[in-house]
Amino acid sequence: MRAAAEVIGSGGDPSADGGRSVTRRARAVALLRRRAPALVAGALPVLAFPRPGLDWLAWVALTPGLLLARSAPTGREAAKRGWWFGAGFILAALYWLLPTVGPGVLLLAVAAGALWAPWGYAAWALLRPGRLIAAVVVVPSVWLAAEWGRSWQSLGGPWALYGATQWRHPAVLSLASIGGVWLVTFALVAVNTALAIAAGAWFRRAGDTPPAGRPVRRTLAAVLLAVLIAAAGPLTYRSWSAPAGRPLKVALVQPGVVVGAGTRFDAGERITAALPRVDLVVWGESSVGFDLRRRPDLMARLTALARAHGPLLVNEDARDAAGRISKSAVLIGPDGERARYVKNRLVPFGEYIPLRTTLGWLTRVSKAADQNRVPGTGVVMMRAGAVDFGPLICFESTFPDLARTVVNRGARVLVYESATSTFQGSWAPPQHASLGAVRAAETGRPAVQAALTGVSAAFDERGRRIAWMDTPRRGSVVVEVTPSRGRTPYDRYGDYVPWLAVVIAAGAGLQAWRRRHPRG
């Protein structure tokens, strides 16, 4: 009976389902073979970020992807290659989320990767005819529009913005003080585009528009333009800020991987008790796993530390009396709590699940948040001694606009509390710490970060590294940073670079559509 039913269900041919399955598998394998080069090319630029740290690679790593798009037989195929390139980039950049998010990383890569489809098309349309000036303006603009779009918090946030690869090069980061990390990204993509045109000048495909001029001349022009763009950062290297008082002595406490909220609290207390007196002691994110408003005994211990060693900025991650969870930076002085800031930008899937009613199943197959944390309602200014600072928490260091907001509210120093213990041993901790250099260069303010398990770091107002306490270490590091005043062009004008990129990309897209659909 069962056999008969199976024959009927397959249309009378018991081998039909098997044949279709073989066909589907063969098509899937063929598709992967066609798209694998774009997927791999998308992963290549991630090597320019920490921990590999091949920052020089950022100037050339996009060229293979650009040449793959250029060689596509049609614009539609180039757009598909751009999509797969973007998916490969997101997968490689966020691979460390797999233990927490599981299949959510793949969903994120597919969704965010689609933003690079127009970039693939733009490369195909402008690199084949070798339109040098148009290409180095439009192609980076389309990339930047995609990068800005996927920086939306629900699409994963602005992790691995391409300009952040240059965090160890203050002269290049000077572009960030003018137009944010976005301008650094634009310069990097523009150089890659010019080099792709230089490489493409030596071969043609059937149907290519013959470029004007000889290959040697076109190559020299493209290389010269790439050099000029790369020199823009060093040529604009200057300080936009001035000292605002005496140096601030800050202690960053890093207890390392410690299991248990009580043990973690004890470790932070023990390290702090060994410190000299400083202007500010900073603990990492989730350093206090208790509701301090319901634990006067713990508050008394922290107050004693603040009285002996200086004001103490801890981070509370606990359920309140109503069962809600939030992450709060709490400033404690010799008289108790002075100020409190609640984290505004939460980590998708890690601290809340977007569309939980639809995607809540991820909690069954991964370590995604089983309860949404409650976000804060805005930034809060605090004071250590005579210095105003704006505390931000972990993931928030990835957002350029938040650092700019606290600076425009009067912050003289940027202070971050972080924890990446879930991703210990991955590339995430050093990548996260490196963002302090970018935020410092953008805003003209020194930046310090205390990470629960590392990396704790400090940078001056130009993004130059002062301290770097890597993940294997435990203890503390005391740094002196000079509070700064004055505003950079990025502080004043904000995200004008990505807005301009969106306008350019939209204008180029409209022009391409009109060429394909001329009015009758």
Predicted pLDDT of residue 11: 45
Compute the average pLDDT of residues 501-513.
Answer: 94
The CA-CA-CA angle for residues 398, 163, 87, to 5°, reads 80
Counting residues of the chain whose pLDDT is more than 90, the rounded percentage is 73
Question: Is the dihedral angle over the CA atoms 173, 177, 181, 183 positive or is it negative?
Answer: negative
Q: Dihedrals φ, ψ of 136, to 5°?
A: -75, -5
Per-position DSSP letters for 32-89, written without gaps between them: HHHHHHHHHHHHGGGGGSTTT--GGGGGTTTHHHHHHHHT-SSHHHHHHHHHHHHHHH
Q: How confident is the model at residue 9 (pLDDT cuts 50, 70, 90)?
A: very low
Going by the DSSP 8-state scheme, the letter that residue 231 receives in this structure is T
* Element housing 14 (H / E): none
Answer whether residue 435 shows pLDDT above 60: yes
More confident residue, 17 or 21: 21
pLDDT of 425 strictly over 70: yes
Burial (0-12, 13-18, 19+ Cβ within 10 Å), 124? buried
Rounded CA separation 50/425 (Å) = 12
Tell me which of 11-25, 186-200, 209-223, 272-286 is least confident. Answer: 11-25
Taking only the tens place, the pLDDT of each residue in 145-160 is 999 999 988 777 899 9
Peptide bond into 319 cis (omega under 30): no
pLDDT at residue 424 tops 50: yes
pTM: 0.91
* Mean pLDDT value across residues 285-307: 96
Residue with tokens 């990835």: 398
Q: Is the pLDDT of residue 208 over 70?
A: no
Euclidean distance between the first and the last CA atom of the chain, given in angstroms as a whole number? 64
Helices marked H in 132-260: 132-150, 170-200, 215-230, 232-235
Angle at CA of residue 377, ends 491 and 161, nearest 5°: 45
With 0-12 / 13-18 / 19 or more C-beta atoms within 10 angstroms meaning exposed / middle / buried, residue 172 is buried
With the C-alpha atoms ordered 191, 193, 194, 195, is the resulting torsion angle positive or negative? positive
Average predicted confidence (pLDDT) for the chain: 90
For residue 55, pLDDT beyond 50? yes
Predicted local confidence at residue 195, as pLDDT: 96
pLDDT at position 209: 53
Could you read off the pLDDT of 312-348 as tens digits, one per residue? 999 999 998 888 999 999 999 999 999 999 999 998 8
Torsion angle, alpha carbons of 336, 346, 170, 385, to 10: -10
Average pLDDT over residues 89-115: 88
pLDDT higher than threshold 60 for residue 213 = no
How far apart CA 312 and CA 379 sit, in angstroms, is: 19
Contact, 218 vs 132, CB < 8 A?
yes
pLDDT at 2 over 60: no
The closest alpha carbon to 167, from 300, 56, 9, 29, belongs to 56
Count CB neighbours of 451 within 10 A: 29
pLDDT at residue 126, as a whole number = 95
Which pLDDT belongs to residue 1?
40
Average pLDDT over residues 290-308: 97
